[in-house]
Structure 1
Amino acid sequence: MFRLLIAAIVIGSVGWSSSVEAQGFRGGRGGGPGRGQGPGPDSRQAADMEVFHYLLENHTKIERTVKDLPNGVETLTESDDPEVAAKIQEHVHWMEVRIEKTNPIRRRDPLFNELFRHTDKIKMNVVKTDKGVQVTETSDDPYVAKLLQAHAMVVSKFVEHGFQEAMKNHPVPGKDVAVKTEVIYPAIQGHGGVYQLPEAPQQPRPNTKILIDITAASEPDKLNPAIEKVARYVNIYAGAGKEKVDAEIALVFHGGATLAVLNEAAYQSEFKTDSNPNLELLRDLHHAGVAMFVCGQTLRAKGKSPEDVVVFVDTAVSAFTTSVNLQADGFAYVPLAK
């Protein structure tokens, strides 16, 4: 019988409601989370969360001993309080269901996330006691055995500190746990730098469609900050997550941002500057596959014509119709005032 280490289930499940990726209890052991289903509540989430919170609030009434084994760990988790002991045992029953169906908890925590990836390699012997549960957890895989031992160490901290410790994330043994602070530019060089977070929840999804509505003007001799933000959005999909994913991004310029897309001659004439500071980055976005439109109504109202617009930006009848059309085509609308 396979069950998650009881103390981890009892004490280490804080953050359940925000981190569980409910799989509807589908799939089998070792098969990963139920594929094709997004995050959301399952039929047991509310009840399980209530038990988790009760046990966390009463963590000072829980006693725990841990013994490392050559291939795993042996733990005893008990309470002198009959109600706490009963809650521990209730919790074990439902965690057995989650483990056997590969329905993970605490996916935001790297250690828990990694442990759930290897449930098919864990051998467990669970014995109820008068006050709780004794668990022997082993694995023939040395790496998984180290995971079990690291997990047991973290759970001991949960027992000692309760919510304070359970709110933290915990590293996977043997992996580089240093916080990565290096800014990368996977698609647009020199603009819109991002940090790579391959283990984070809510990763960029393939085939996403985004319509970004840019309306704010900027100082004529400086790059419009909204265009810099668009570069960041492009870089997020190009490499800030676990892997690069394709995304279809479109920009529509209107309002104060309309004249940001003028060609060099028209921009110089309008603002008496040496050049249009937006064009270099706009060109890079174009080369990255970003579609760009400018509102023809606003352009005409400002005394300009489509011939004054840089060649890779299309002049639409209006920003309004562009927004309506693209949203009808499945684009998510993202307003970007500045």
Structure 2
Amino acid sequence: MFRLLVAALVISSVGWCSSVDAQGFRGGRGGGPGGGPGRGPGGGHGPDARQAEDMEVFHYLLENHTKIERTVKELPNGVETLTESDDPKVAAKIKEHVHWMEVRIEKTNPIRRRDPLFAEIFRHTDKIKMNVEKTKSGVKVTETSDDPYVVKLIQAHAMVVSKFVNDGFQEAMKNHPVPGKDGAVKTETVFPAIQGHGGVYQLPTATQQPRPGTKIMVDVTASSDPDKLNPAIEKVARYVNIYAGAGKEKVDANIALVFHGGATLDVLNEAVYNAEFKTEKNPNLELLRDLHHAGVEMYVCGQTLSAKGKSPDDVVVFVDTAVSAFTASVNLQADGYAYVPLAK
């Protein structure tokens, strides 16, 4: 944990957040208690023999937050905090927490990296000066910095720690924004690759970001109203847009569509489709053409096509006819494509 932890009451902060991990909010990449081996700021892995013990202390402090008294005095260059308890056991746990958080700082083994504020503070521990003084009933910490931005982080963190003391687990379950950064969720959709279809939300800080070189085979089987765009094709446009701009950065991905079952006739050229369904046009072709221009490969099942009385010549020019959807699926998966079924 960052020195701030130790600083701003090291007790409530870091620890408490980690306790939340122990409560079942542990998840994948954060490491720390319940999340696998601890990780240093460089992302390295390493065993953490103290995790279980620290988690118990954090959990205990959260459960007994009503027995903790905390005051915060803002300084021009930081904060001065006093965290104590009249309960000797709680006071002892406060001191224990501070001690082991200091050890974590020295060993660059933080906790609660998923919280934006805590993660940001940890990136600037080299700019934080602190003085820890044990009292009879707890800990007094003075935390300062010569960097104005880090001072804001210290003060924001101190306020969050006070919320932990006031509300316990209820507050520890929350993430906390970095001061000066807009923490609001952007709710407008964007269309980075396919315009007008498959809108996505940009989430540059979310986990499980799109990976470059991803290969996806989308199995499209469901039919739709002949006069309307097949919603499965709309979803494929969203997949393309996700890789083109929903994450931190645009990444290249190989996406292939295989049409069979009820979706087979969606890829007929205009004239054949109109004759088959008595419509003015094939409502799928415009978006299919945009997907083709975006680099999406498209195949239709030759077996189903023939069974429905159609031939490869009846298919729009940018969709290839495979011997069968089965062979296309097997071949693509053998080439490393992840299989994604899309019935509708």
Number of aligned pairs?
Answer: 331
CA distance in 1, matches of 2:284, 2:107: 53
Counting only pairs closer than 5 Å after superposition, residues 67-146 of structure 1 correspond to structure 2 as 67-146=73-152
Deviations 1:2-45 (A, max 9, x none): 63410211333354312652395565xxxx4416x7xx997655
Q: CA deviation at 1:160?
A: 0.9
Residue identity in the other structure for 1:198 = P
2:202 aligned partner: 196
1:166–1:272 Cα change, 3 Å: same
Structure 1 range deviating more: 46-55 or 234-243: 46-55
Q: Residue 18 of structure 1: SS of its match in structure 2?
A: coil
Q: Residue 334 of structure 1: SS of its match in structure 2?
A: strand
Counting only pairs closer than 5 Å after superposition, residues 268-283 of structure 1 correspond to structure 2 as 268-283=274-289
Q: CA deviation at 1:153?
A: 1.0
2:157 aligned partner: 151
CA distance in 1, matches of 2:141, 2:194: 52
Confirm whether residue 293 of structure 1 aligns to residue 302 of structure 2. Answer: no
TM-score by length of 1: 0.87
1:223 aligned partner: 229
Task: Give me the CA root mean square deviation.
Answer: 2.6
CA distance in 2, matches of 1:15, 1:294: 50
2:14 aligned partner: 9
Structure 1 range deviating more: 78-87 or 326-335: 78-87
CA distance in 2, matches of 1:323, 1:44: 48
Confirm whether residue 249 of structure 1 aligns to residue 258 of structure 2. Answer: no
Deviations 1:92-119 (A, max 9, x none): 4443454445444434432223222323
- Select which of 43, 51, 55 maps to 1:34: 43
Kept in 2, the 8 Å contact 1:3–1:92? The answer is: no
Larger C-alpha radius of gyration, 1 or 2? 2
CA distance in 2, matches of 1:47, 1:252: 53
Residue identity in the other structure for 2:31 = A
1:69–1:231 Cα change, 3 Å: same
1:301–1:80 Cα change, 3 Å: farther
Kept in 2, the 8 Å contact 1:34–1:102? The answer is: no
Q: CA deviation at 1:124?
A: 2.7
CA distance in 1, matches of 2:28, 2:184: 22
- Select which of 311, 315, 324 maps to 2:317: 311
Kept in 2, the 8 Å contact 1:2–1:100? The answer is: no
Counting only pairs closer than 5 Å after superposition, residues 57-76 of structure 1 correspond to structure 2 as 57-76=63-82
Q: CA deviation at 1:128?
A: 3.4
- Select which of 336, 339, 343 maps to 1:337: 343
Deviations 1:156-215 (A, max 9, x none): 112111222222222221122333222111111111111111222222222222222111
Kept in 2, the 8 Å contact 1:4–1:96? The answer is: no
CA distance in 1, matches of 2:267, 2:48: 48
Q: CA deviation at 1:135?
A: 2.3
Structure 1 range deviating more: 287-296 or 51-60: 51-60
Structure 1 range deviating more: 304-313 or 317-326: 317-326
Confirm whether residue 259 of structure 1 aligns to residue 265 of structure 2. Answer: yes
Q: Residue 78 of structure 1: SS of its match in structure 2?
A: strand
Q: Residue 175 of structure 1: SS of its match in structure 2?
A: coil
1:292–1:122 Cα change, 3 Å: farther
Kept in 1, the 8 Å contact 2:3–2:122? The answer is: no
User: Where does the alignment leave 5 or more consecutive residues of structure 1 unmatched?
Assistant: none
Q: CA deviation at 1:258?
A: 1.4
Q: CA deviation at 1:324?
A: 2.2
Residue identity in the other structure for 2:230 = N
User: Where does the alignment leave 5 or more consecutive residues of structure 2 unmatched?
Assistant: none
Q: Residue 212 of structure 2: SS of its match in structure 1?
A: coil
1:160 aligned partner: 166
Structure 1 range deviating more: 99-108 or 274-283: 99-108
Identical amino acids, percent of aligned pairs: 81
Structure 1 range deviating more: 89-98 or 231-240: 89-98
TM-score by length of 2: 0.86
Confirm whether residue 53 of structure 1 aligns to residue 62 of structure 2. Answer: no
CA distance in 1, matches of 2:285, 2:49: 53
- Select which of 321, 327, 337 maps to 1:321: 327
Kept in 2, the 8 Å contact 1:259–1:299? The answer is: yes
1:178 aligned partner: 184
Q: CA deviation at 1:280?
A: 0.9
Q: Residue 275 of structure 2: SS of its match in structure 1?
A: helix
Q: Residue 13 of structure 1: SS of its match in structure 2?
A: helix
